[in-house]
Amino acid sequence: MSNKTAIVIGAGIVGLATARALSLRGIKVTVFERNERAVGASIRNFGMVWPIGQPNGELFDRAMLSRKIWKEIAGEAGIWHDEVGSLHMAYHDDELRVMEEYVDINKDIRGVALLTPEETLAKSPAVNPDGLKGAVWSGTEMIVESRVAVGQIAGYLAEKYGVVFHWNTAIAEIKDNTVRSGSRTWTADEIYVCSGVEFETLYPELFAEAPITKCKLQMMRIAAQPGGWRIGPSLCGSLSMVHYPGFQVAPSLPLLRERYNDEYAEYLKWGIHVMASQNHTGELTVGDSHEYGLVHDPFDKDFINKMILDYLCTFTRLKDMHVVQSWHGILPKLTNGKTELVLQPTENVTIINGLGGNGMTLSFGLCEQLIAVRHDDRQ
């Protein structure tokens, strides 16, 4: 049992993943969160653990490690999760060609399969059959209800590992091994800054120098489907193939992108690609869009939501399309193509940031790997 201590700033998914990895190694962890609960990007998402979106190699392996950790925690903490897999549908020959290439390259790596229209409809009754040419099936994708799960993870860490949480406590300064909030201070051997807000506030010069911007995503929730009707896998239109780097292995993807540049120019302008996932109550989360910049319009754009819903109808047939909620999230996004930003401004302080829209998929794996490198060889 280690006698080391650590402070984690931020109780979103990155902070919780860091707290877990440290606690597993016997380090006493204290977490500080400026709000009474996590209310940022960690709860404003699909709840998708999404390995199919990651390229082969290190990032796919990290996503699968995250998935394994999610399953362990969900099982122990009684957190609802659903290993539904995913379907990406094709309605044009060039979309099907990309899917054929993707499956041929990945069939021995990811266990994906190319389905016929009949096989696709057997997987999900919610798929639009009109003009359907086939789909990519992947079994690795998992859904959680992030609005609930993030808070449940905090409770699990407190109960199992004795992690101490200070809610409604904004850290205003870090100096040496000490953090300050108002007149109160706390000291630890290591400090981890795991929130975009705190990074920008506590280290403004580092933030200004970093290759980082912010991304605004608009999303919606559709009413619980009648009679307990389930859509099965998470469902995706083919626009998702030009969004996620996991599909870049397909040689025909650039040609597909050229067509989309003409036919879906307005969608690509607003970074729209459309997916749908279903939670335990039967409600569906749908989205999303991507607007980049350091400052965003606080008001959502109705035409973006309409574009999302219009495209959703091209590949789904839902029983109830009534929108019950809409919202947006703000995510950190690196401008250099990297998937995370890890900085060490001083010997004892580490900043973990920049996971963008991959937080649910990569955070547990990334933080486990980072902490393992630092501590497993020191025990």
CB-count burial class (<10 Å; 0-12, 13-18, 19+) for 294: exposed
CATH 3.50.50.60 spans which residues of the chain?
5-45+147-210+338-375
Q: What pTM does this model have?
A: 0.95
Closest CA to 101 of 250, 1, 223, 270: 250
Reduced to 3 states, what is the DSSP secondary structure of residue 176? coil
| CATH of range 86-138+212-334; options 3.60.10.10, 3.40.630.30, 3.30.9.10, 3.90.1210.10 | 3.30.9.10
The pLDDT value given to residue 1: 56
Question: What is the rounded average pLDDT of the residues 88-104?
Answer: 98
The pLDDT value given to residue 54: 96
Question: What is the rounded average pLDDT of the residues 142-168?
Answer: 97
Question: What is the rounded average pLDDT of the residues 74-103?
Answer: 97
Whole-angstrom Cα distance, residue 355 to residue 360? 9
CATH 3.30.9.10 spans which residues of the chain?
86-138+212-334
Question: What is the rounded average pLDDT of the residues 223-235?
Answer: 97
| Tokens 């060039």 found at | 94
Which superfamily is assigned to 5-45+147-210+338-375 in CATH?
Answer: FAD/NAD(P)-binding domain (3.50.50.60)
Question: What is the rounded average pLDDT of the residues 99-121?
Answer: 96
The pLDDT value given to residue 365: 97
Instruction: Say yes or no to pLDDT of 377 above 70.
Output: no
The pLDDT value given to residue 71: 97
Whole-angstrom Cα distance, residue 299 to residue 328? 9
Residues 6+ away with beta carbon under 8 Å from 320: 222, 223, 224, 225, 226
Residues 6+ away with beta carbon under 8 Å from 97: 252, 256
Triad 31, 37, 38: Cα angle to 5°: 85
Q: Per residue in 272-310, pLDDT tens?
A: 999 999 999 999 999 999 999 999 999 999 999 999 999
- With cut-offs at 50, 70 and 90, classify the pLDDT of residue 2: confident
The pLDDT value given to residue 254: 97
pLDDT mean across residues, the chain:
95
The pLDDT value given to residue 379: 45
The pLDDT value given to residue 195: 85
Buried b (16+ CB within 10 A) or exposed e, 113-137: ebbebeebbebbebbbeeebbbbbb
